[in-house]
Amino acid sequence: MMQFEPPKLKKNFLDHLTAIVGPGDYSAKNLDRFNYSRDSNFKSVIRIRHSQVEPLPDVIVWPKDAEQLKKLVRLAIRTKMPMIPFGGGSGVCGGTIAETGGMIVDMKKMYRLLKVDSANLLATAETGIMGYTLEKELQRKGYSLGHFPSSILCASLGGYLAARSAGQSSSRYGKIEDMVRELEVVTGKGEIIQTRDVGNGDGIDLNQIFVGSEGTLGFITKATLRIYPLAPHQAFRGVRFKNMKTGMEAVRRIMQTGLKPAVVRLYDEIDTLLFMGYKKQKGVIEALSGLTVPFRKFLMSPSLWGALSAPKLVAPVLSHLPTGCLLILMHEGIERLVAEEQKIVMEICHDLGGADLGEEPGRVWFEHRYSVSYKASPLFHSGAFVDTIEVAATWDRMEALYKAVLKAMSPHCLVMAHLSHAYAEGGSFYFTFLAPLSGLKKSEALYDLIWDEGIEACQEIGGVISHHHGVGRLKAKYMDREWGEGAALYRRFKDHFDPHGIMNPGKLVELKKKQKEKAA
Amino acid sequence: MMQFEPPKLKKNFLDHLTAIVGPGDYSAKNLDRFNYSRDSNFKSVIRIRHSQVEPLPDVIVWPKDAEQLKKLVRLAIRTKMPMIPFGGGSGVCGGTIAETGGMIVDMKKMYRLLKVDSANLLATAETGIMGYTLEKELQRKGYSLGHFPSSILCASLGGYLAARSAGQSSSRYGKIEDMVRELEVVTGKGEIIQTRDVGNGDGIDLNQIFVGSEGTLGFITKATLRIYPLAPHQAFRGVRFKNMKTGMEAVRRIMQTGLKPAVVRLYDEIDTLLFMGYKKQKGVIEALSGLTVPFRKFLMSPSLWGALSAPKLVAPVLSHLPTGCLLILMHEGIERLVAEEQKIVMEICHDLGGADLGEEPGRVWFEHRYSVSYKASPLFHSGAFVDTIEVAATWDRMEALYKAVLKAMSPHCLVMAHLSHAYAEGGSFYFTFLAPLSGLKKSEALYDLIWDEGIEACQEIGGVISHHHGVGRLKAKYMDREWGEGAALYRRFKDHFDPHGIMNPGKLVELKKKQKEKAA
């Protein structure tokens, strides 16, 4: 049985909470504090396996509207209490960990879809709404947000916005920051502000200051977003390429021809191998994209441990498997346009030696598209840990990025990758890595080493270290190099919107000493 | 002969200029000061007709790079001298007028297209490059920016960025703010900063703080932008609708179906009448879109003066002319897709009673697409002044916006309008108004009155008061109502990036008293 320090709360403080949200909508119970002490970052999972708990928040609060939240911020300012926004808890970067204790603000009671505006194709929702609920409600009315992260079942709209989320269809509909028209924000000064849609107008677009700020400037409480009529038609395809080089060239040409496939995913040899297993064995537990019975057996077998202790030897063998590299395509829209688009895409693939595998690989992917995000636990039980690094680059750097990150990580773990999001100017590579669990210190050190090596390789190439998972606690230390002057500018915003240093401390960028002291 | 006060410059200051840019790259001559005392704002033109000159800058400087510019800013800080960026001078909102004297920084010696990156479809250029030069250079290499403002012949890239410019193909390629990937900025603190492309990554997008800031935070010196392969095929079309209501509904459906025509312009009855003149009389001087020989004759004739002195009587007559409302369409891209898109668009138009006029109206529009911006002078010579108000709204407000602005302005001038830019969530209306010149005071008062009435009507409806012309001096007084909390936030940025209050004073938003004092 774990023992926790009691929260550092005064009676007076709790009375204020009662006055603001009522007696039932906050909790300082150890069970709640424990439950809210982590998100889905794998380091937390490693720790918990060894009965190590992340820093506990002192209290969890469930406000019902921006007015209550404003009062909470003002209370937190008076009592110098850190505040951490919490949505679905699906983040994998430790963005919601209460590093220095404080108040977790769970946004899930602000869950209403306020308006579906069919005249203008806009929707307004409170940000505590879960991604899947939002999409389902929209679809019921004939619309879609066009945003399908694999975490859709366990992520909130607020989380999407805080971390610049990308859905699986971002090549057609953009990332969440492209969808935002207006925001309501409760700042770290305890003010409620409204940004205005200036997408068609003049002045400065303030939406883009809050999207991606990961709760470090304030709480995004409401958002107006672009929506789309439900696509009347979808078409799927799988194409096999000889190797990543030709596959990547095909994806680049598709996107730069101005075509807008909804899904474009290119799997490398090992990732393809796992994916192909689907076709034979459906319905089993999949922890990774494509984790199948044969692979589960492999995980339980001594061969895994061989592979993991000598990944340098195994990876080259696996990468020469005759699977080739699988490209998954989905087109959607008006049937006649989809048909023409698909034809043009297939011509591009054919020119680069791509073999048409027909509809099935695309359909199989579609059926399993949400199976990744919240099913990693079977792997832990089998004694391995798994995590993902999603980086991005322009096309000129893409092959180098793929090779360099793979090379940097491979000595330490089994790595596979797919190009998961593609755009005209570049795309995102999604690396999945698997390493054996051992003692806490050793596992943590290995985890940090793999991350440092992967990120170092990415930054050396000039890539972007995070495409859609956000930064959180995990990557804050890399952001000064990543962001350059941007980090300096951000610190000014931080001073402005969070002058008391209480908003989600320890996240996004490492602060200057003075700012750190404020937060401490 | 006009007499000007000599510039308020000390010998020491000029020595510094010589040291920074060399003796040939600044001027305090009256002729230059006069030439740089206005942009294309029509109020300045009214004034000059009466020998009234806008405030003169003290000096004009032509720096060659960001380093020189940085030194100029530091000199300006030390000497409390206002700095005003100047590109092509095509702005129509008085954004480059030296309200309180100071230094005009003409960016045109920073004119290089630095990189055309065909692997990533990106281009990097210095911002003093003229729009047409940039586009021509790109086209020579097989690419396009996809940005075609009617001012392309006389506007600079820096001007595009400063004022959130939209081109005639913004429904397909977006506005300039959608094209920006990275910027180099010399701030009002005398620092050179780089924003980073986070379009595919994480953190806060700082590009959007400088785009639209109209030189009030710093100078944008370099920009990396998205480019496109030249479209292999273009297709044109004209459709006549019975009235604006059905025409607007067609445009809304086209855009909300997810189609991406490159050009969508819907002209109201009077604007259509002028446009249709083209077909019979090409090659004459066109000052307005569609200004033809018959219209020029009309302008010279007593009937104009009848119309202008009683616009309330004339407009209803003109609006019942049997011209209907003309929709101009241009599609571009891969021929097969263009053909399908055009078919679907024509089906939508047909459902709403649109009559197919064939290719010609579209081709005629295309040939004359740049004739508007810099040929207003013939009208002045004939004793009238002309200006344009471009506002925007979501679709639910579009018809109300059109009617309300028309109604508000019509008692004072002859107004015509077209829906010039269309998007899924709304579009922009472009009102052209024509009024008689009389004495200076009376003309100025009428000019102000028409603007106030038009903007008031737009804001009452919930429209956006500027879609792509920017704000400048002209609309700064409306921005508090326009922007709400945004204006307050902007003032904080202003304090941060321009702590000395020297950057383009009097533009974008009216400042707080303290900020004004700083600038004075």
User: Taking 90 as the threshold, does the pLDDT of residue B287 lie above it?
Assistant: no
Is B169 an interface residue toward A (CB < 8 Å)?
Answer: no
Is A504 an interface residue toward B (CB < 8 Å)?
Answer: no
| Subunit contact B163:A202, Cβ cutoff 8 A | yes
Say what the pLDDT of residue A519 is.
Answer: 61
Between CA A248 and CA A418 the distance in angstroms is 10
**Is the torsion defined by CA of A71, A73, A77, A79 positive or negative?**
positive
**Which of A4-13, A318-327, B247-256 bottoms out in mean pLDDT, i.e. has the lowest?**
A318-327
- Phi and psi, residue B123, nearest 5°: -130, 140
Say what the pLDDT of residue A317 is.
Answer: 57
Reported as a single tens digit per residue, the pLDDT across B406-418 is 999 999 998 989 9
Residue count of chain B? 520
- For B202, which of A199, A341, A470 is closest by C-beta distance? A470
- Chain B: closest CA distance from residue A382 (Å): 33
Provide the chain B residues 15-74 that lie in CB contact (below 8 A) with chain A. none
Between CA B172 and CA B180 the distance in angstroms is 15
Identify each DSSP E strand in B303-399 by its residue range.
325-333, 355-356, 384-394
How confident is the model over B275-291, as a mean pLDDT?
A: 43
How confident is the model over B245-262, as a mean pLDDT?
A: 96
Is A340 an interface residue toward B (CB < 8 Å)?
Answer: yes
- Reduced to 3 states (helix: H, G, I; strand: E, B; else coil), residue A493 is helix
Please, are residues A75 and A124 in contact by the beta-carbon 8 Å criterion? no
Provide the percentage of residues in chain B whose pLDDT is more than 90: 69
User: Taking 90 as the threshold, does the pLDDT of residue B109 lie above it?
Assistant: yes
- Reduced to 3 states (helix: H, G, I; strand: E, B; else coil), residue A228 is strand
Instruction: Name the token pair of A428.
Output: 């995102």
- Chain B: closest CA distance from residue A497 (Å): 10
Provide the percentage of residues in chain A whose pLDDT is more than 70: 86
Q: What is the DSSP letter of B180?
A: E
Please, which pLDDT band fits residue A292 given cuts at 50, 70 and 90?
very low
- Reduced to 3 states (helix: H, G, I; strand: E, B; else coil), residue B312 is helix
Contacts of B514 (CB under 8 A, 6+ apart): none
Between CA B384 and CA B434 the distance in angstroms is 7
How confident is the model over B428-450, as a mean pLDDT?
A: 93
Picking from A354, A324, A338, the residue whose alpha carbon sits closest to that of residue A233 is A338
> Mean pLDDT, chain A, as a whole number?
88
Got the DSSP string for A413-425? Answer: SEEEEEEEEE-SS
Say what the pLDDT of residue A181 is.
Answer: 93
Between CA A271 and CA A267 the distance in angstroms is 5
> Mean pLDDT, chain B, as a whole number?
88
Say what the pLDDT of residue B372 is.
Answer: 61
Please, which pLDDT band fits residue A377 given cuts at 50, 70 and 90?
low
Is B254 an interface residue toward A (CB < 8 Å)?
Answer: no
User: Taking 90 as the threshold, does the pLDDT of residue B142 lie above it?
Assistant: yes
Within 8 A of B224 by CB-CB distance, chain A residues are none
Reported as a single tens digit per residue, the pLDDT across B52-84 is 999 999 999 999 999 999 999 999 999 999 999
Instruction: Name the token pair of B93.
Output: 């909102």
| Subunit contact A226:B424, Cβ cutoff 8 A | yes
Please, which pLDDT band fits residue A282 given cuts at 50, 70 and 90?
very low
Dihedral (C-alpha) A259, A264, A269, A273: value to the nearest 10 degrees?
-140
Instruction: Name the token pair of B390.
Output: 């471009």
User: Taking 60 as the threshold, does the pLDDT of residue A320 lie above it?
Assistant: no
Please, which pLDDT band fits residue A285 given cuts at 50, 70 and 90?
very low
Say what the pLDDT of residue B295 is.
Answer: 52
- Reduced to 3 states (helix: H, G, I; strand: E, B; else coil), residue B337 is helix
Picking from B508, B504, B72, B509, the residue whose alpha carbon sits closest to that of residue B519 is B504
Picking from B413, B396, B428, the residue whose alpha carbon sits closest to that of residue B150 is B428
Please, which pLDDT band fits residue B293 given cuts at 50, 70 and 90?
very low
Q: Which residue has the higher pLDDT, A296 or A347?
A: A347
| Subunit contact B201:A465, Cβ cutoff 8 A | yes
Mutate to test the interface with B, among A186, A197, A200 (most CBs of B within 10 A): A200
Reported as a single tens digit per residue, the pLDDT across B347-393 is 999 999 999 999 998 998 898 888 765 456 666 777 788 899 999 99
Provide the chain B residues 359-418 that lie in CB contact (below 8 A) with chain A. 392, 394-396
Say what the pLDDT of residue A199 is.
Answer: 61
Is B425 an interface residue toward A (CB < 8 Å)?
Answer: yes
User: Taking 80 as the threshold, does the pLDDT of residue B300 lie above it?
Assistant: no
- Reduced to 3 states (helix: H, G, I; strand: E, B; else coil), residue B486 is helix
- Chain A: closest CA distance from residue B384 (Å): 29
Q: What is the interface pTM, i.e. ipTM, of the complex?
A: 0.89
Within 8 A of B469 by CB-CB distance, chain A residues are 202
Provide the percentage of residues in chain A whose pLDDT is more than 90: 70
Please, which pLDDT band fits residue A269 given cuts at 50, 70 and 90?
confident
Between CA A494 and CA A488 the distance in angstroms is 10
How confident is the model over A134-163, as a mean pLDDT?
A: 97
- For A202, which of B197, B466, B496 is closest by C-beta distance? B466
Is A213 an interface residue toward B (CB < 8 Å)?
Answer: yes
Say what the pLDDT of residue B288 is.
Answer: 38
Say what the pLDDT of residue B390 is.
Answer: 95
User: Taking 90 as the threshold, does the pLDDT of residue A1 lie above it?
Assistant: no
How confident is the model over B481-489, as a mean pLDDT?
A: 84
| Subunit contact A337:B340, Cβ cutoff 8 A | yes
pTM (predicted TM-score):
0.91
Mutate to test the interface with A, among B179, B204, B467 (most CBs of A within 10 A): B204
Provide the percentage of residues in chain B whose pLDDT is more than 70: 86
Instruction: Name the token pair of A197.
Output: 């849609």
Say what the pLDDT of residue B279 is.
Answer: 47
Reported as a single tens digit per residue, the pLDDT across A76-135 is 999 999 999 999 999 999 999 999 999 999 999 999 999 999 999 999 999 999 999 999
**Which of A199-208, A235-244, B159-168 bottoms out in mean pLDDT, i.e. has the lowest?**
A199-208
Say what the pLDDT of residue A302 is.
Answer: 54
**Which of A310-324, A364-378, B120-134 bottoms out in mean pLDDT, i.e. has the lowest?**
A310-324
